[in-house]
């Protein structure tokens, strides 16, 4: 067996292999669903699914809600600003500032601000042939699909409790 496996017994176990398989399966499903919906950047659903699945169900729900709110805010702001100003970096900066103020005033966690800013950048700064509103709607749909697939997977296929640590034997 490879040396890295033998020297790190806690790193490779049934739970970690199961988590990797579960994450891979969920990412494939998220990508497939997004493609079935004919969304242009289906990989965002897979990325979101992987982010959601790296936590427990409770933490996944929390980060998912913040991601959904932030994505919605960023999508609307990006579509509005890009419709009037195009991919203008100075207006983008003003949009980031405005999103920071809105999320702080709404007492949202900084994660919502981060997700809003990421979506604003994607909608506003990436030049596309479609209307900014179409780009924003696609982005929101891709993220929403990823969140739903990730949460359903975590709910249906929960993490197993970690096995108890074995005491060191003192042998070499």
* Domain around 61: 16-156
For the chain, the straight-line distance linking the first and the last C-alpha, in angstroms and rounded, comes to 17
Residue 7 domain-assigned? no
pLDDT of residue 159: 78
Q: How far, in Å, CA of 12 to CA of 45, rounded?
A: 27
Residue 148 domain-assigned? yes
Residue 131 domain-assigned? yes
Domain count, the chain: 1
Looking at every residue in the chain, the average pLDDT score rounds to: 89
pLDDT of residue 63: 85
Query: Helix 43-52 crosses helix 132-156 at what angle (to 10 degrees)?
Result: 40
Residue 161 domain-assigned? no
Q: What tokens does 110 get? A: 């900084």
User: Given a cut of 70, is residue 161 above it in pLDDT?
Assistant: no
Mean pLDDT, to the nearest integer, of 44-69? 89
- pTM of the full predicted structure? 0.81
User: Given a cut of 80, is residue 55 above it in pLDDT?
Assistant: no
Residue 138 domain-assigned? yes
pLDDT of residue 99: 98
Residue 23 domain-assigned? yes
Residue 79 domain-assigned? yes
Cβ–Cβ < 8 Å for 45, 62: no
Residue 30 domain-assigned? yes
């Amino acid at each position: 067996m490879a040396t890295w496996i033998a020297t790190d017994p806690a790193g490779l176990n049934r739970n970690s292999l199961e988590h990797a398989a579960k994450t891979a399966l969920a990412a494939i499903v998220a990508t497939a669903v997004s493609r079935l919906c004919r969304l242009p950047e289906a990989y965002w659903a897979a990325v979101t699914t992987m982010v959601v699945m790296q936590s427990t169900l409770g933490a996944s729900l929390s980060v998912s809600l913040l991601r959904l709110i932030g994505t919605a805010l960023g999508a609307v702001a990006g579509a509005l600003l890009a419709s009037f100003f195009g991919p203008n970096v100075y207006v983008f900066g003003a949009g980031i500032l405005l999103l920071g103020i809105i999320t702080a005033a709404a007492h949202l966690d900084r994660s919502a601000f981060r997700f809003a800013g990421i979506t604003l950048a994607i909608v506003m700064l990436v030049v596309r042939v479609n209307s900014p509103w179409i780009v924003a709607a696609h982005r929101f749909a891709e993220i929403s699909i990823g969140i739903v697939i990730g949460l359903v997977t975590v709910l249906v296929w929960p993490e197993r409790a970690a096995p108890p640590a074995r005491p060191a034997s003192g042998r070499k």
